[in-house]
Structure 1
């Protein structure tokens, strides 16, 4: 049996020169991007898309976190779940609302269920049904429909990286969840 690649988060001393400018920004703050730094060209290319999905989304912070948390649940990605519990709280989501995203659509608010339904369809079918498109467009507009699709795609790629290489949850996030558990 072949051993998996050993690609831990890169320390500052091992950071590739080709991506040096990114270390002080988003890429140096999180283990997922420190792992992605093993491929500097990908990390550099990722920056623009990541900035749109994370910072410039038409969904707003709370709705974006709903989409990300549901994606993390569906993809069984504990790193994303942990990070976005903390970010979701920062965006104003209550723990009850966050916990509801792990369960059936019937246990969520109508708004969260519309977003979660879209996430579920994208993960299950790589496509939004006409009904999900209409429901989502009524809630977030056409740009929001695209942003939900982009968010799921972005976090699916990250989940593949995280799970493939066993990326550890960042220490500050682990400490925050130890101090204020979600379960």
Structure 2
């Protein structure tokens, strides 16, 4: 077990359910793989989940996301995605994760671009990815071996890694 699921071993039933949900979000979604990875990466950046970012940035590139927009997103800059569906998803996810609401114009654009099912799948995925990010950050799951911080404005953990919810 690696990543957030290492921590979730302390709550196995919940961990099994969350693993099934996260797997469904990544495999069974109406969103194409490229947009699934983008949703995860936007969530990772907005919640400063460096572990999630490092685990998925190469998968995002392999799925067709551009390296430069991802590099700008990692730096906390406006990513400027070239593809319309990526830009629409980014705007929607960014608003949902930072404002906790999506304005009417952005909602309408996302609905038109993605469709109803994919939009529902996106919102559930954002929540699921946010949950995993919170587990990673709260319990300070180590970054992958040899990896440095993914985000220049996030200094990392201030204490030793917490592998369990126990003090």
SS at match of 1:101: helix
Distance 1:76 1:164 in 2: 11
The residue that corresponds to 1:75 in the other structure is 47
Please provide the CA RMSD for this pair: 2.3
Moved over 6 A (4+): none
Separation in structure 2 between the aligned mates of residue 182 and residue 94 of structure 1, nearest angstrom: 17
Deviations 1:30-69 (A, max 9, x none): 3221111111011122133112211111111101111111
Give the structure, 1 or 2, with the largest relative contact order (CA under 8 Å, sep 6 or more). Answer: 2
Q: Which residue of 2 aligns with 1:86?
A: 58
More helix by share: 1
Choose from 140, 151, 154 the match for 2:128. Answer: 154
- The correspondence of residues 1-183 of structure 1 with structure 2, limited to 5 A, is 28=1, 30-102=2-74, 103-104=77-78, 107-109=80-82, 110-171=84-145, 174=146
Between the aligned partners of 2:151 and 2:33, the Cα distance in structure 1 is: 19
Once residues 145 and 133 of structure 1 are traced to their aligned partners in structure 2, the CA distance between those partners, rounded to angstroms, is 9
Q: Distance in 2 between matches of 1:54 and 1:129?
A: 26
Q: Shift of the alpha carbon at 1:112?
A: 2.0
Give the greater-gyration-radius structure (CA).
1
Q: Partner residue of 1:10?
A: none
Identify unmatched segments of 5+ residues in structure 2. Answer: 153-167
CA contact under 8 A between 2:34 and 2:65: conserved in structure 1?
yes
Q: Work out whether residues 95 and 182 of structure 1, in 8 Å CA contact, stay in contact via their aligned partners in 2.
A: no
Residue segments in structure 1 that go unaligned for 5+ positions in a row: 1-27
